């Protein structure tokens, strides 16, 4: 399986069988140009969106006719089991920023979890619903989502083998959020690989959690 980070919370997952899945595609130039990552041009099979904000749900500008998945529930599409788990974009049960869907999907025998714009520490019920995770995509920038300290706590709750930070400040994101280095402070188990894509295999995942920092592709 290959995982590519476009930027912000948007990822492309390509299975060994060639099934392509995009998670949380952003609208290039959204919010008055504050989000200046380039346009996503890959044609894919499935698109998963955690919530309806322009930096996470731009399905209309994607090429082709991908099947769009939103909200909670369990289904299997293109042979990929997908579970959506209802959470919130804030600490006040959605009163500030609405609901958020966490997605858990199984690709090439690996459990992938994308937290979307999670705004709170997970409850025991939510942890149990998510279950065992190999690869975790987690927001770390704060302000609109969990911050560095809270993301560290959520990582401890879920215990993934690979953690990929997302939704943090870069030169292409003008939001008032923190850069990834805030999350990395005090940690030694991380690698900045200097690339936007990584190949992962169930048989060679690390036994202890490893943080992989990707470069944005667009």
Query: Is position 26 within any domain?
Result: yes
Query: Is position 218 within any domain?
Result: no
In the three-class reduction of DSSP (H, G, I as helix; E, B as strand; rest coil), residue 33 is classed as helix
Query: What value, to the nearest 5°, has the Cα angle with vertex 125 and ends 123 and 127?
Result: 70
Would you say 188 and 167 are in contact if contact means Cβ atoms under 8 Å apart? no
Would you say 31 and 37 are in contact if contact means Cβ atoms under 8 Å apart? no
Query: Is position 80 within any domain?
Result: yes
Query: Is position 88 within any domain?
Result: yes
Half-sphere exposure in the Cβ direction for 122 (13 Å, CA)? 24
Q: Return the biggest CA–CA distance within the chain.
A: 44
Query: Is position 142 within any domain?
Result: yes
Would you say 9 and 24 are in contact if contact means Cβ atoms under 8 Å apart? yes
Would you say 96 and 90 are in contact if contact means Cβ atoms under 8 Å apart? yes
Q: What is the pLDDT of residues 10-46, one digit of tens each?
A: 999 999 999 999 999 999 999 999 999 999 999 999 9
Query: What value, to the nearest 5°, has the Cα angle with vertex 160 and ends 214 and 9?
Result: 40
Q: What is the percent of the chain where pLDDT is above 90?
A: 93
| Residue 52, pLDDT above cutoff 90 | no
Query: Is position 100 within any domain?
Result: yes
CA 201 to chain centre: 19
Instruction: Kindly report the backbone phi and psi dihedral angles of residue 70, in degrees, each rounded to the nearest multiple of 5, phi listed first.
Output: -135, 155
Dihedral sign, Cα of residue 161, residue 51, residue 169, residue 12:
positive
Length of the chain: 218
| Domain count within the chain | 1
What global pTM score does this model have?
Answer: 0.96
Round the average pLDDT of the chain to a whole number and report it: 96
93 vs 112: CA distance, rounded Å = 25
The CATH number covering residue 85 comes to 3.60.15.10
Query: Is position 16 within any domain?
Result: yes
Would you say 8 and 166 are in contact if contact means Cβ atoms under 8 Å apart? yes
| Residue 53, pLDDT above cutoff 90 | no
> For residue 171, which of 129, 207, 206, 218 has the smallest C-alpha distance?
218
82 vs 75: CA distance, rounded Å = 5
Q: What is the pLDDT of residues 114-138, one digit of tens each?
A: 999 999 999 999 999 999 999 999 9
Query: What value, to the nearest 5°, has the Cα angle with vertex 201 and ends 198 and 207?
Result: 100
Enclosing domain of residue 35: 2-213
Which H or E element spans position 191? Answer: strand 190-192
């Amino acid at each position: 399986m290959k995982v590519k980070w476009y930027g912000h919370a948007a990822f492309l997952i390509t299975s060994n069988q060639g099934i392509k899945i995009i998670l949380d595609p952003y609208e290039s130039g959204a919010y008055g140009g504050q989000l200046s990552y380039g346009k996503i041009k890959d044609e894919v099979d499935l698109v998963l969106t955690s919530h309806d904000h322009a930096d996470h749900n731009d399905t209309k500008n994607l090429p082709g006719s991908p099947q769009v998945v939103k909200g909670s529930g369990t289904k299997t599409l293109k042979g990929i089991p997908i579970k959506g788990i209802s959470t919130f974009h804030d600490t006040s049960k959605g009163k500030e920023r609405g609901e958020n869907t966490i997605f858990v999907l199984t690709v090439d025998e690996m459990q992938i979890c994308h937290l979307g714009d999670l705004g709170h520490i997970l409850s025991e019920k939510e942890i149990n619903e998510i279950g065992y995770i190999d690869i975790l995509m987690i927001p770390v920038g704060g302000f609109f989502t969990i911050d560095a300290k809270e993301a560290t706590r959520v990582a401890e709750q879920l215990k993934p083998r690979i953690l990929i930070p997302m939704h943090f400040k870069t030169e292409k994101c003008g939001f008032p959020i923190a850069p990834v280095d805030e999350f990395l402070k005090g940690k030694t188990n991380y690698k900045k690989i200097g690339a936007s894509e990584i190949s992962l295999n169930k048989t060679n995942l690390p036994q202890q959690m490893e943080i992989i920092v990707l470069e944005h592709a667009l």
